[in-house]
Structure 1
Amino acid sequence: MIDSQSTKADAVVGADIRGFDGGKLINGRKRHAVVDSLGLCLGVMVTAADIGDRAAGQVLLAQVAAAHHRLELVWADGGHTGSLVGYGFTVLALVLAIVKRSDDMRGFVVLPKRWIVKRFFAHVMRSRRLTRDFERSTSSAEAMVYSSMTTLMTRRLGRPRPSRA
């Protein structure tokens, strides 16, 4: 699953690496993430908020496909349609399945498969340092997301399992 999240940037973030997301009305940065079916992070890329999902998705999907050779299917939202679907199929040999909202849905509805990446972003936002973007460089912002996910994974591994009687 691939998706993005816009976050406000702190004053220490330079104007050259921040942007304005017109859809969410946020001045800051955008976190693009690819997660597996368990919600574990496969790849993260932090860009200025004015970079579109399709442009960042091309770069991020190429990085993830190079690192994870068995990847075949990626679910995405409506922001990743268009040229990214063709690019994923022809260049990366990935099927990009777009999960769209139907016209008869009303109110706030979490779509199938989209909740996986939304849960990932919820875990990331539980880290106090990631509620806003305080990092000067995008690489350190990406490292903080990986650090947050490492904490989550170690907690899951260290959790006692129920005994089978």
Structure 2
Amino acid sequence: MTSAGLARKASPSREQFEPIRALLENARKKTRPRTVDLYEVFCAILYLLKSGCQWRMLPSDFTKWRTVHHYFSLWSEKPEGGASLLEQALKKNQVGEARTRQGRNAKTSFCIVDAQSVKNTDYARRKGYDAGKKVSGIKRHIFVGTQGLPHAIAITTADVSDRQGALKTIEQNWEGLTEVTSLLVDGGYSGQPFAEAVQSLLGASVQVAKRHELHTFAVMPQRWVVERSFAWLEKCRRLWKNTERLLNTSLQFVNLAFLALLLRRY
């Protein structure tokens, strides 16, 4: 089986891709008739995400790499004060739809918050040093519901603290968090100033989940959900390390990883 065939087998089917096709078609900027299949382009980008290969090393049985990269750039563009098409497809389309099918409200009232520091490669331009994790690179901040579905994602350099990153995530994704009334965090987010800032921005309370015994492993109720969400990202080789030059590119690949997961499952 060709590389393209394997990618299609591991990617959402054409039927599963249909809910977001119309949204991605909005990236069109010219009146010339489209000559490429958007589904094939989407599968090619997922191949890069899963395999971790470089754009120029995309197998020849896919659409030309320059075309694939062009569409990814269009889908990743963030208008001033707005969301990219990939973010819209994930949060406004798939996450809300998945919750609605299960009899829940499209927007969650409870979020579990965490951050993950990721090492940079020499290609990446932006980086910082996380002294606590001893990692030089970037940091991913995510807010997930009780099912592990992302409601807010932000990427910063690793030197940004968990608390600062969480507040920045709220500011960048405020529209999708308007119904949130409670946040569950770990000890890294403790402190009255952070709780007051969250109350000011969201009107939500902060619950700190603390371990009962130091140096003893225990599964913390509900906190494991966000760890599972990070584990879903680890299934994509391109996300094992940060290979992107721009923070926005790193953000869009995280959005794409969650989007592909939701399309296949729901």
Q: Shorter-chain TM-score category?
A: 0.7 to 0.9
Q: Distance in 1 between matches of 2:215 and 2:136?
A: 28
Q: What does 1:13-162 align with in structure 2 at a 5 Å threshold?
A: 13-14=124-125, 17-82=126-191, 83-102=193-212, 104-157=213-266
Separation in structure 2 between the aligned mates of residue 124 and residue 6 of structure 1, nearest angstrom: 13
Structure 1 contact 7–26 (Cα < 8 Å) conserved: yes
Aligned residues: 154
Deviation of the 1:153 alpha carbon:
0.6
Q: Is the 8 A contact 1:57 1:84 kept in 2?
A: no
**Whole-Å separation in 1 of the counterparts to 2:143 and 2:201:** 18
The more displaced of 21-30 and 81-90 is 81-90
The one-letter code matched in structure 2 to 1:52 is S
Q: CA deviation at 1:46?
A: 0.9
Whichever of the two has the greater Rg, that structure is: 2
Contact 1:36 1:42 (8 Å CA) reproduced: yes
**CA distance in structure 2 between the partners assigned to 1:105 and 1:12 by the alignment:** 39
Q: Which of 113, 119, 122 is equivalent to 1:2?
A: 113
Residues in 2 aligned to 1:91 and 1:24: alpha-carbon distance in whole angstroms: 28
Q: Which residue of 2 aligns with 1:11?
A: 122
Letter in 1 for 2:194: L
Q: CA RMSD in A?
A: 1.3
Q: Secondary structure of 1:116's partner?
A: helix
Quote the Cα distance in structure 2 between the aligned partners of 1:26 and 1:106: 22
Equivalent position amino acid for 2:116 in 1: Q
Query: Contact (CA 8 Å) 1:77, 1:99: kept in 2 or not?
Result: yes
Moved more, 23-32 or 55-64: 55-64
Deviations 1:58-84 (A, max 9, x none): 111233343232111111111112211
Structure 2 residue matching 1:91: 3-state secondary structure: helix
Q: TM-score, normalised by structure 1?
A: 0.88
Give the CA deviation at 1:105. Answer: 5.0
Cα distance in 2 for residues equivalent to 1:142 and 1:31: 8
If asked which structure has higher relative contact order (CA below 8 Å, sep 6+), I would say: 1
Distance of 2:155 and 2:118 partners within structure 1: 10
- Once residues 254 and 190 of structure 2 are traced to their aligned partners in structure 1, the CA distance between those partners, rounded to angstroms, is 26
State the alpha-carbon separation in 1 of the partners of residues 217 and 264 from structure 2: 31
Q: Kindly, what percent of the aligned residue pairs are identical? A: 30
Separation in structure 1 between the aligned mates of residue 177 and residue 139 of structure 2, nearest angstrom: 23
Between structures 1 and 2, the one with greater strand share = 1
Structure 1: gaps spanning 5 or more residues:
158-165
Structure 2 gaps, min length 5 = 1-111
1:45 and 1:142 in contact (8 A); partners too: yes
